[in-house]
Structure 1
Amino acid sequence: MSKVNLENPLIVQGDHTVLAEVESPRYAQARDELARFAELVKSPEHIHTYRITPLSIWNACAAGVKTDQIIGSLHKFSKYPIPEHVLVKIQDFASRYGRLKLMRRDSETLILSANAEPLAEEISHNNLVLPLLAERLSPLTFRIESISRGKLKQALVKIGFPAEDLAGYTKGEELCMEFRNTTVAGEAFLLRSYQNDSVRAFHANGSNSGGSGVIVLPCGAGKTIVGIACMARLQSSTLILTTSVTAVRQWKNELLDKTTLTEEQIGEYSGKMKQIRPITLATYQIMTYRKTKDSNFEHMSLFDQRNWGLIIYDEVHLLPAPVFQFTAFLQARRRLGLTATLVREDGRENDVFALIGPKKADAPWKTLEKQGWIAKADCTEIRIPLPQDIRMPYAVADSKRKFRIASENPLKEQIVKNIISRYKQEKILIIAMYLDQIKSIAKNLDIPVLTGSTSQDKRDKLFADFKEGKIHILAVSKIANFAVDLPDASVAIQISGTFGSRQEEAQRLGRILRPKQGLNRAHFFTLVSADTIEQDFALKRQLFLCEQGYTYSIRDTDREDPNSFLQ
């Protein structure tokens, strides 16, 4: 049993939550270990609250974290003795991972095996699982139809017994490709150590224990390169699904710049063109297109158009529900999810785990920052009072309207001007949720603006001008949440966001984290109306980044002195 050590930062509670004292000198070390097997749920100024869940433990197990390491970390950093039943429950959660195994018997049949007869009895009588069991072959084994593979894994996760899928994958159509030692652009190229580690964890030497799962890396850390490296390891045709045509073009540019693939081997499948080639890049938007709400999804057949050896889900935290549903039937193909955060605002992390695969590797943001692979980021929340003339409309509005009134606080524009003036030598992104707001500020400040309705040609032109230094400020709507390659942006000003979206906050910070010359430093400003519902949501938005070790300095301003936050 742990001894009392009041210098330690953690208090492990009986409800599986863990309190972490931010001011403790051992907090940073404890936080980094906690992040491997617990999730941050609250982050007020002095005490952060984590929760240990079955899914957080299963992801840790899948990433190679041992049960004794988890328990050892809690003992190492806990102030007080840990409740015995919490330790027992952690062991129970961890032991459930892999007690059921899926194996292949032949091309059409799988075997689900349990490690104990009581478990086999339990699942055979469960209403979620029973319809997916074709036949009981022995006290410990069941025959499963191949088509039920994904649905069965979803059901087993829901009842708390995730199956380890060892049924293997189709090899797919062969495709020879190699990395270049020198890019087409003439730069030396070599995979970074953490990128190599991620590829090895996913590939698992080609064994059936690899081949499906999620790689979690910060924005700007080269997730695309990891995806390409997995393709090179497998040497098979690949379908890559991503968030936008801009992201499609970025993937294509990286493939042509850093591998031996030719233009003729890479196809774009989007609204404008429908090329199906050995490497095919498609958008989630086109995959989920249908003429009416009751029509069929016209382009889901792309999954069967070639014998894909790998399907890559870029920004997997944004994977739409219809693609989830279809992925349940694609379990015989290798699947790689790429993301900066496993957080999903729709709560479907279980489906990512079951259908794409568990977390195979991640790299803490602050670790990569220390190594210089991503920029150091200063995060600042600037609190601005509501103008007197909108306080009464705010007071009588419902919560949704309150949030919009606070988000569109007209005093934010002056703060934007002040930040631009202070960082006029830097490349700046201004990001907002509300179109009227971002268009108005862009017009008043004479700044080009990008929204969802901006044509792809204009987007490409503005992105190119920004990279080349012809313009140094861009105003951007929610499209900034998705893959946008602006390597030189070093300042982001967030003037409104989507309620308490943690993954949106991470994505927006990620827009400015690519490594930079000189000090390698970025600045992330969030403008919030003080003492409003927007301030409450800002705390929720910051959760994931706080978990990664970022802290927000709070600056107050007032109408009389709009530069006060710069002091």
Structure 2
Amino acid sequence: MSYQPSNPIIVQGDFSLLLEVDNPLFQSARDEVAQFSDLEKSPEHIHTYRLSPLSLWNAAASGLTAEHILTALEKYSKFDLPQNVRQEIEDQVQRFGRIKLIQEDCGLFLVSDDPYAIQEIASHKKLQSYFRGPVEGQRIPVNPMMRGHVKQALIKLGFPVEDLAGYEQGTTCPMSLRSVTSQGQALALRDYQQMAADAFYAGGSNRGGSGVIVLPCGAGKTVTAMALMGQLQTETLIITTNITALRQWRQELLAKTTLTEDQIGEYSGEIKEIRPVTITTYQILAYRQDKSSHFPHLEIFTKKNWGFIVYDEVHLLPAPVFRVTAEIQAKRRLGLTATLIREDGLEEDVFSLIGPKKFDVPWKELEKKGWIASAHCIEVRVPMPGPMRLPYAVADSRAKFRIASENPEKEAVVHRLLQRHPDDQVLIFGQYIDQLESIAAVLGIPVITGKTPNQERIRLYDAFKSGSQKRLVLSKVANFAIDLPDANVAIQVSGTFGSRQEEAQRLGRVLRPKVGDNRAYFYSLVTANSRDQDFAANRQLFLTEQGYKYSIVRPEELND
């Protein structure tokens, strides 16, 4: 067995990768393994990644070969690779593309060069209702209405289908990106935005047209989608997270593309417009009167001959939209997100129904180039006051988390941080409305929650953008798709348990590039030695994978 003690990785037979943080090769090794594995744990000195079938299928779909992955691991590994790991990488990478879905004049077919794989698939009783007939040589005829369902079922059996069946063109909608925005600012795609658009479009071939683009908040996912709309020239349905995001999309389309007011429709709880480019929300699509009722607004997917559907913040895709997406696989589908992590574990469904990851770029790489702000992450460990200790000690696990999250000592820390950043644009995030309203009242800061009327939200956001209001307290409604480019300090007083996705989104609120030193600060207030601290460790995993480090301080150290 060869031994390279200066290398930073130990590859283990259980498919985990142990990566030494203090090794000089840490950054370059991390950038490599992040392309084909998932971060699991990130304590101070050793980070643990894991190879999984899905991580390897995404790598294969992005063009990585088994040879590339093995070469990277051999380059950075202290020891020889375990034989079972080597074999698993080769097997899983080869699985993507072993089964293909193709369109011929006589219909839709699953095909493979592997006759045994075709026979195995054909023998599954659960799949047979999706087929139009028996095996024909090395292909199976598939009901075209079941295109998404069969892919969804096959990935659960370990067969990630490469969908080459092509797409309907949709009704033509001429549009293009402007070279100068309506505000008179020069507009050109950044290099990585062009690369992302090219990776998705794939020259217009059937190898492109469906998949996910992963870019940090503030890195221009919206502009990348607009560039693709310009390439496709087709009527487009855009689905986003809330009414505020919907109207921001509308403003961005009018400012940065040649689309006119009468070409863009809003389909929301307030307005029901269907136009060549229509923007709606997950909330309205998932609405129904009660659990036994149908979803009345899902018919929007068939209201027009859409050629392109954009799923903004695709990691939030709700179950009803998953179901209808399974039935519209002939439409080009783009998912946009800062992180593919889903707390419900449905990443495989995103892979099979929206498509594989088409483009990703390390956040730190964009930071180095100045495309996003340099962020300093600080975890402030706040002591638990004496009167809280007994209620905390006797509470169940869920109640322990809430008690610790709502630690009243956090208010004083927020006040201290605001004194530390007197001239900065500050966003204060939290999970619990009583806590947020208390902080807002004590500090005299406006608060936005789910109860805040849309017009009032827009007024407060506009005041923040203009600089007349430098501080806002925000509930979960502001986790996604709010455009506050001048925000440079985020203070998180509580969060949704161990949500890595939420942590990334909240940091993303302050990552838009800044004039001057291009620096942002992200403070996470955590009750020391509590469930709050336990969940904080999990929340930080995704950002740690992106290369961020959390400084851990006590409140009294904030003055240093």
| Common fold: TM-score over 0.5 | yes
| Counterpart amino acid of residue 83 in structure 2 | E
- Structure 1 equivalent of residue 495 of structure 2: 497
Show CA shifts across 1:377-435 (max 9, x none): 00000001100011010000000000000000000000000000010110000000000
User: What's the secondary structure of 1:382's corresponding residue?
Assistant: strand
Gaps in structure 2 of 5+ consecutive residues: none
Q: From 327, 332, 356, give the equivalent of 1:358.
A: 356
Q: Aligned residue for 1:566?
A: 559
**1:206 aligned to 2:204?**
yes
Q: Which residue of 1 aligns with 2:173?
A: 175
Cα distance in 1 for partners of 2:7, 2:304 equals 56
Aligned residue identity for 2:66: T
What is the alpha-carbon distance in structure 2 between the residues aligned to residue 231 and residue 7 of structure 1?
48
How many angstroms apart in 1 are the aligned matches of 2:350 and 2:43?
A: 29
* Residue in structure 2 matching 1:290, options 288, 291, 295: 288
**Paired residue type of 2:29:** A
Query: What secondary structure is seen at the aligned counterpart in 1 of 2:29?
Result: helix
Instruction: Name 1:329's counterpart in structure 2.
Output: 327
Q: Could you tell me how far apart the structure 2 residues matched to 1:368 and 1:564 are?
A: 30
* Within-5 A mapping of 1:12-31: 12-31=11-30
Match of 1:371 among 364, 369, 372: 369
1:409-428 alignment runs, 5 A limit:
409-428=407-426
In the alignment, which residue of structure 2 is the partner of 1:560? none
Q: In the alignment, what sits opposite 2:46? A: 47
Structure 2 counterpart of 1:56, one-letter code: S
Residue 81 of structure 1, CA deviation: 1.1
The superposition leaves residues 193-245 of structure 1 with CA deviations (integer Å, 9 ceiling, x where unpaired) of 00000111101111011000000000000000011111111000000000011
CA contact (8 A) 2:180 2:256 kept: yes
Contact residue 239 and residue 310 of structure 2 kept, 8 A: yes
The separation in 2 between residues aligned to 1:243 and 1:181, in whole angstroms, is: 28
Task: Tell me the CA shift for residue 292 of structure 1.
Answer: 1.2
Which amino acid is 2:444 matched to? D
Tell me how far 1:480 sits from its aligned partner. 2.0
Instruction: Give SS of 2:248's match.
Output: helix
> Aligned equivalents of 2:501 and 2:71: distance in 1?
30
Counterpart of 2:238 in 1: which secondary structure? strand
Write out the 4+ residue segments of structure 1 that deviate beyond 6 Å after TM superposition. none
Structure 2 residue 71 is matched with structure 1 residue 78: no
Which residue of structure 1 aligns with residue 549 of structure 2? 551
1:132 to partner: Cα distance: 1.8
Residues in 2 aligned to 1:305 and 1:75: alpha-carbon distance in whole angstroms: 53
**1: CA distance, partners of 2:82 / 2:126:** 33
Distance 2:296 2:422 in 1: 47
SS at match of 2:426: strand
Q: Quick one: distance in 1 between partners of 2:372 and 2:207?
A: 31
Counterparts of 1:531 and 1:374 in 2: how far apart (Å)?
A: 33
Deviates most, 394-403 or 479-488: 479-488
* In structure 1, distance between residues paired with 2:546 and 2:321: 29
Task: Determine helix, strand or coil for the equivalent of 2:100.
Answer: strand
Contact 2:405 / 2:526 at 8 angstroms: preserved in 1? yes
Within 2, Cα distance between the matches of 1:471 and 1:168?
A: 50
In the other structure, the counterpart of 1:398 is 396
SS of the residue aligned with 1:93?
Answer: helix
Q: Which residue of 2 aligns with 1:91?
A: 90
Instruction: Point out the more displaced range, 207-216 or 121-130.
Output: 121-130
Q: Shift in Å at residue 566 of structure 1? A: 3.1
> How far does residue 66 in structure 1 lie from its aligned partner after superposition?
1.8
Give the 5 Å matches for 1:27-38: 27-38=26-37
1:110 maps to which of 105, 108, 111: 108
Pairwise mapping of residues 237-252 of structure 1 onto structure 2 (< 5 A)? 237-252=235-250
Q: Secondary structure at the match of 2:126?
A: coil
Task: State yes or no: 1:161 paired with 2:144.
Answer: no
Residue among 452, 470, 473 paired with 2:471: 473
Q: One-letter code of the match for 2:78? A: K
Cα separation, 1, equivalents of 2:320 and 2:375: 36
2:224 alignment partner AA: V
Match of 1:103, SS? strand
Q: What is the identity percentage for the equivalent residue pairs of Structure 1 and Structure 2? A: 55
Deviates more, 1:92-101 or 1:65-74: 65-74
Partner residue, 1:234: 232
**What is the letter of the counterpart of residue 22 of structure 2?**
E
1:157 Cα deviation from its structure 2 partner: 0.6
**Is the 2:265–2:279 Cα contact (8 Å) retained in structure 1?**
yes
> Alpha-carbon deviation of 1:509?
0.3
* SS in structure 1 of the partner of residue 488 of structure 2: strand
Among 381, 385, 388, the residue aligned to 1:387: 385
Structure 1 position 68 matched with structure 2 position 61? no
- 1:452 corresponds to which letter in structure 2? G
Deviations 1:248-271 (A, max 9, x none): 111111111111110000000001
Question: Unaligned regions of 5+ residues in structure 1, if any?
Answer: 558-562
Q: Distance in 1 between matches of 2:169 and 2:511?
A: 36
- Distance in 1, matches of 2:296 and 2:128, equals 32
Q: Is the 8 A contact 2:176 2:229 kept in 1?
A: no
Q: CA deviation at 1:110?
A: 0.4
Counterpart-to-counterpart distance in 2, 1:138 and 1:172: 31
Report the TM-score when normalising by structure 2. 0.99
Structure 2: which amino acid aligns with 1:167?
A: A
- Displacement, 1:564? 2.6
2:529 to 509, 524, 531: 531
CA distance in 1, matches of 2:48, 2:532: 21
Counterpart secondary structure, 1:489: coil
In structure 2, the residue matched to 1:135 is 133
Distance 1:63 1:185 in 2: 37
Give the distance between the partners of 2:163 and 2:321, measured in 1 at CA: 20
2:239 & 2:177 partners in 1: Cα distance? 21
Determine if contact 2:127/2:150 at 8 Å carries over to the other structure.
yes
In 1: Cα distance, 2:366 partner to 2:554 partner:
31
TM-score with structure 1 length normalisation?
Answer: 0.98
SS in 2 for 1:129: helix
Letter of the structure 1 residue corresponding to residue 115 of structure 2: E
Give the match's secondary structure for 1:247.
Answer: helix
Q: Which AA in structure 2 matches 1:203?
A: Y
The match for 2:458 is 460
Report the alpha carbon displacement of residue 126 of structure 1 after superposing the two structures with TM: 2.0
Aligned length: 560
| Residues 295-339 of structure 1 deviation map (CA, whole Å, 9 limit, x = unaligned) | 110100000000000000000000111100110001000000000
State the shift of 1:565 in Å.
3.3
Which residue does 1:268 correspond to in 2?
266
Output the CA distance in 2 between the equivalents of 1:492 and 1:127.
52
CA–CA separation in structure 2 for the residues paired with 1:532 and 1:551: 21
What's the CA shift for 1:65? 1.5
SS at match of 2:428: strand
Superposed CA RMSD in Å reads: 0.9
How far is 1:137 from its partner?
4.2
Check whether the contact 2:214–2:339 (CA below 8 A) recurs between aligned residues.
yes
- What letter matches 2:37 in structure 1? A
SS of equivalent to 2:442:
helix
Distance in 2, Cα, partners of 1:127 & 1:538: 44
